[in-house]
């Protein structure tokens, strides 16, 4: 059985954010990301307002802080290297530019983590399809999620088998075993992907995923999306024009 814990481990909590339709959340997240990216360097303080908004959403979603921080940690090496480079550059604008770039990357990633943490991958794919995102992109995204789950399952079984055979001693030995495991993992994942593809073809897959009839989104939830768009547009206007 494929494991989708990579994305869906906390997607079934009962919070106001979880109860929103995935289409509304996808639209709001997209608008916020575009608005964050549009903030000029001279208006960096506006990023603090977006950070406060996203932190409020995080608190409302009841997602574990450790889980969110663990996914934001992927940016830590890049932020550290960028900070060191900005401090070494003599230009007075370098630090302001880096603050803008680093903060935007962090806030956009937080928005994506909140979206993924409060919606299942299947709901997000259906939402993207309902919002008329090209079906080729949604199909490729669905396959990517499936094959990531395949890799996770295969890697978990292989690590369990390796640990059951005893502890590896010596760095050279560990590197050799790790390289062998990686090569075997790729081969097994490719073989399993072939089996999945053949099973899909046997069930009638002809290159496009079937369209599902979406449920109607309550008007109140669309109102939330409208408020989000209005706030983002107003703050962007304030940053660009004011």
19-71 per-position pLDDT tens digit: 888 889 999 999 999 999 988 888 888 899 899 999 999 999 999 989 899 98
Q: Is the pLDDT of residue 224 over 70?
A: yes
pLDDT, position 130: 81
Is the separation of the CB atoms in 67 and 90 below 8 Å?
no
* Residue 5 pLDDT: 52
Least trusted range by pLDDT, from 175-179, 218-222, 234-238:
175-179
Counting residues of the chain whose pLDDT is more than 90, the rounded percentage is 19
CB 107 within 8 A of CB 51: yes
- Mean pLDDT is lowest, of 92-96, 189-193, 213-217, for 213-217
* Predicted pLDDT of residue 108: 93
How many Cα neighbours within 13 Å face the side chain of 31? 19
DSSP reduced 3-state for 55: helix
Give pTM, 2 decimals.
0.77
Q: How far apart are CA 234 and CA 124, in angstroms?
A: 27
Residue 2 pLDDT: 46
């Amino acid at each position: 059985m494929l494991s989708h814990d990579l994305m869906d481990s906390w997607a079934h909590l009962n919070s106001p954010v979880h109860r929103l339709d995935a289409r509304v959340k996808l639209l709001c997240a997209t608008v916020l990301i575009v608005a964050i990216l549009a903030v000029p360097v001279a208006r960096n303080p506006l990023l603090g307002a977006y950070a406060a908004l996203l932190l409020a959403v995080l608190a409302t979603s009841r997602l574990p802080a450790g889980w969110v921080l663990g996914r934001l940690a992927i940016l830590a090496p890049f932020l550290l290297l960028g900070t060191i480079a900005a401090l070494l550059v003599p230009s007075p604008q370098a630090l302001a530019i880096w603050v803008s770039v680093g903060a935007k990357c962090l806030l956009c990633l937080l928005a994506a983590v909140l979206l993924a943490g409060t919606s299942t991958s299947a709901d997000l794919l259906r939402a993207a399809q309902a919002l008329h995102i090209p079906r080729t992109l949604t199909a490729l995204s669905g396959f990517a999620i499936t094959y990531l789950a395949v890799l996770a399952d295969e890697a978990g079984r292989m690590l369990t088998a390796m640990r059951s055979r005893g502890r590896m001693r010596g760095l050279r030995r560990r590197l050799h075993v790790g390289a062998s495991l990686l090569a075997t993992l790729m081969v097994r994942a490719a073989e399993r992907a072939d089996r999945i593809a053949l099973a899909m073809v046997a069930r009638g897959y002809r290159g496009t995923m079937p369209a599902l009839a979406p449920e109607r989104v309550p008007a109140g939830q669309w109102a939330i999306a409208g408020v989000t768009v209005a706030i983002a547009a107003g703050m962007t206007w304030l940053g660009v024009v004011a």
